[in-house]
Structure 1
Amino acid sequence: MSSSTNVEVSPPSLDKGKRRAQDTEPTERTPLLNSQSSSVLLDSHDPPPAVARRRLRSKLTTVFLVSLVITTLGAIGVGILAWTYASRASHISTDDILTEGLVFRGPDRVDVLSISPQGGIALRVGGRLGFDAGAVLGVSAESDDTLFGDIWKAVGRWGIRRLNRVAVNMSTIALVAGHVVLATVEPSPVVIPLTASPPSDSSWLTPISMPLLIRPTTNTTALIEFVRESWRDGWAVVRADVSNVDVRGGFFGEGNWRAWLHKQLSDVKTQVRIEIPPIPGLPHGPLPRLSDLITLQYFSLHSTERATLELNALATVPNPAPPSFNLTSPSLPFTIALPSNISMTGAPIASVSTLPFTLTHPNISLAIQGNVLPLSTQATPLLSTFLSRYLSRQNNPILVSTPLIEGLSIDLEFPAPNPPPQVLRNVTIHDMSIKPSGTVVTASGTVDARIVLPKGMDLKLHVGRVFADVLVFDGEVPDGAEFPSSLGEPDEDDEHPLPPAPPLPSPLPPHAFARIRPEEWLPSQSGPVELSDSGSLYAISAHLVDVPLEVLPGRQKEFSGFVSKVVFGSGDGATAGILGVGAVGVEVAGLELQASRAAQAREMELTGLPFRGSVLVGKKAMRRGGLLGLDVGLGDAVNKSEEELGKVREEVKKAVRRLLGKWT
Structure 2
Amino acid sequence: MNNNDEVEDHAAHVDKGKRRAVEPSELTPLLGSSSAIIDEAIVPADSHRNLRTTLTTVFLVSLSVCIVFFVVIALLAWSYASRASNLKPDDVLNNDLVFAGPDRVDVLNVTKEGVWLNVQGRVGMDAGRAININTDPDDGPFRDLWKAIGRWSVRTLDRVSVNMSTINITPEYDSSIALVSLDIAPIELPLSVDPPPDLSWLTPVSVPVYFRLTSNSTEVLQFLKESWHVGKIAVRADVSEAHIRGGSLNTTSWRSNFQTKLLDIRTAIHMKIPPIPGLPHPGKHLPLPSLSSLITLKSFNISSTPTQLNIDATASIFNPAPTSLSLSAPSLSFIVSLPTTPPTFLASVSSAPFSLTYPNITLSLSGHVLPLTQSAFPFLAEFLSRYLSGEPNEISISSPLLPGYDISAEFPAPQPRPQILRDVTIKDMKIRPTGTVFLASGIVEGRVVLPKGMNISLDVSYVLPDVLVFDGEVPPAPEPDYATSRFVKHRGHHGSAPDLPEEPPLPDPLPDRAFAHIRPDEWLPAVSSPSEAEDGVGSVYAISARVVDVPLEVLPGRQKEFSNFVGKVIFGTDGATAGILGSAAVAVTVEGLPLNTPGRKTNEIVLSGLPFQGSVHIKKR
Q: 1:199 to 1:470 in 2, by over 3 A?
A: farther
Matched letter for residue 303 of structure 2: H
RMSD of aligned residue pairs (Cα, Å)? 3.2
Give the counterpart of 1:197 among 182, 194, 203.
Answer: 194
* Matched-pair identity in %: 52
Q: 1:35 to 1:183 in 2, by over 3 A?
A: same
Number of residue pairs matched by the alignment: 569
Find the structure with the greater CA-based Rg: 1
Within the alignment, does 1:266 sit opposite 2:267 as a pair? no
Matched letter for residue 252 of structure 1: L
Within the alignment, does 1:124 sit opposite 2:123 as a pair? no
> Partner of 1:399 in structure 2?
396
Give the counterpart of 2:545 among 542, 553, 556.
Answer: 542
Partner SS, residue 600 of structure 2: helix
Structure 1 residue 102: Cα displacement: 1.3
Give the counterpart of 1:523 among 497, 522, 525.
Answer: 525
Q: Following the alignment from structure 1 to structure 2, what is the Cα–Cα distance between the partners of residues 278 and 579? A: 55
Give the counterpart of 1:186 among 183, 186, 189.
Answer: 183
> Partner of 1:247 in structure 2?
244
Q: 1:438 to 1:116 in 2, by over 3 A?
A: farther
Structure 1 residue 437: Cα displacement: 6.2
Normalised to the residue count of structure 2, the TM-score between the two structures is 0.83
- Alpha-carbon displacement from aligned partner over 1:288-333 (angstroms, at most 9, x marks no partner): 33332222222111112x5322111111212222222111111101
Normalised to the residue count of structure 1, the TM-score between the two structures is 0.78
- Residues 40-79 of structure 1 mapped to structure 2, 5 A cutoff: 65-79=60-74
Structure 1 residue 417: Cα displacement: 2.6
Within the alignment, does 1:101 sit opposite 2:101 as a pair? no
More off after superposition, 514-523 vs 265-274: 514-523
Matched letter for residue 542 of structure 2: A
Q: 1:99 to 1:492 in 2, by over 3 A?
A: same
Matched letter for residue 331 of structure 2: S
- Alpha-carbon displacement from aligned partner over 1:14-57 (angstroms, at most 9, x marks no partner): xxxxxxxxxxxxxxxxxxxx999xxxxxxxxxxx9999888777
Give the counterpart of 1:238 among 214, 235, 256.
Answer: 235
Within the alignment, does 1:577 sit opposite 2:579 as a pair? yes
Matched letter for residue 104 of structure 1: F
Q: 1:293 to 1:538 in 2, by over 3 A?
A: same
Q: Following the alignment from structure 1 to structure 2, what is the Cα–Cα distance between the partners of residues 226 and 407? A: 16
Aligned partners of 1:388 and 1:607 also within 8 Å:
no
Q: Following the alignment from structure 1 to structure 2, what is the Cα–Cα distance between the partners of residues 281 and 503? A: 48
Within the alignment, does 1:565 sit opposite 2:562 as a pair? no
Matched letter for residue 280 of structure 1: P
Aligned partners of 2:485 and 2:609 also within 8 Å:
no
Q: Following the alignment from structure 2 to structure 1, what is the Cα–Cα distance between the partners of residues 454 and 360? A: 26
Q: 1:500 to 1:235 in 2, by over 3 A?
A: farther
More off after superposition, 319-328 vs 600-609: 600-609
> Partner of 1:40 in structure 2?
none
Aligned partners of 2:385 and 2:486 also within 8 Å:
no
> Partner of 2:604 in structure 1?
603
Structure 1 residue 257: Cα displacement: 2.6
- Residues 249-328 of structure 1 mapped to structure 2, 5 A cutoff: 249-252=246-249, 254-276=251-273, 278-283=275-280, 284=282, 285-304=286-305, 306-328=306-328
Structure 1 residue 488: Cα displacement: 10
Structure 1 residue 200: Cα displacement: 1.1
Q: Following the alignment from structure 2 to structure 1, what is the Cα–Cα distance between the partners of residues 89 and 431? A: 92
More off after superposition, 538-547 vs 56-65: 56-65
Q: Structure 2, unaligned stretches of length 5 or more?
A: 1-16, 20-42, 493-497
Q: Following the alignment from structure 2 to structure 1, what is the Cα–Cα distance between the partners of residues 278 and 503? A: 43
Q: 1:567 to 1:235 in 2, by over 3 A?
A: farther
> Partner of 1:588 in structure 2?
590
Structure 1 residue 175: Cα displacement: 2.1
Q: Following the alignment from structure 2 to structure 1, what is the Cα–Cα distance between the partners of residues 288 and 508? A: 39
Give the counterpart of 1:142 among 112, 132, 136.
Answer: 136
- Residues 321-360 of structure 1 mapped to structure 2, 5 A cutoff: 321-340=321-340, 343-344=341-342, 346-360=343-357
Structure 1 residue 557: Cα displacement: 4.9
Structure 1 residue 281: Cα displacement: 2.5
Q: 1:510 to 1:102 in 2, by over 3 A?
A: farther
Q: Following the alignment from structure 2 to structure 1, what is the Cα–Cα distance between the partners of residues 488 and 51? A: 125
Q: Following the alignment from structure 2 to structure 1, what is the Cα–Cα distance between the partners of residues 229 and 446? A: 53
- Alpha-carbon displacement from aligned partner over 1:234-291 (angstroms, at most 9, x marks no partner): 4343322211111111113543332222111112222334555555322143333333
Q: 1:197 to 1:485 in 2, by over 3 A?
A: farther
- Alpha-carbon displacement from aligned partner over 1:205-248 (angstroms, at most 9, x marks no partner): 11111111122222233233334434444434332221111111
Q: Following the alignment from structure 1 to structure 2, what is the Cα–Cα distance between the partners of residues 591 and 183? A: 41
Matched letter for residue 351 of structure 2: T
Aligned partners of 2:390 and 2:417 also within 8 Å:
yes
Partner SS, residue 297 of structure 1: strand
- Residues 219-238 of structure 1 mapped to structure 2, 5 A cutoff: 219-238=216-235
Aligned partners of 1:395 and 1:415 also within 8 Å:
yes
Aligned partners of 2:520 and 2:550 also within 8 Å:
yes
- Alpha-carbon displacement from aligned partner over 1:357-387 (angstroms, at most 9, x marks no partner): 1112222111111112222222345445534
- Alpha-carbon displacement from aligned partner over 1:47-69 (angstroms, at most 9, x marks no partner): x9999888777766665555444
Matched letter for residue 542 of structure 1: A
Give the counterpart of 1:477 among 474, 478, 501.
Answer: 474
- Alpha-carbon displacement from aligned partner over 1:126-148 (angstroms, at most 9, x marks no partner): 11111111111122223433333
Partner SS, residue 593 of structure 1: coil
Matched letter for residue 181 of structure 1: A
Q: Following the alignment from structure 2 to structure 1, what is the Cα–Cα distance between the partners of residues 587 and 288? A: 41
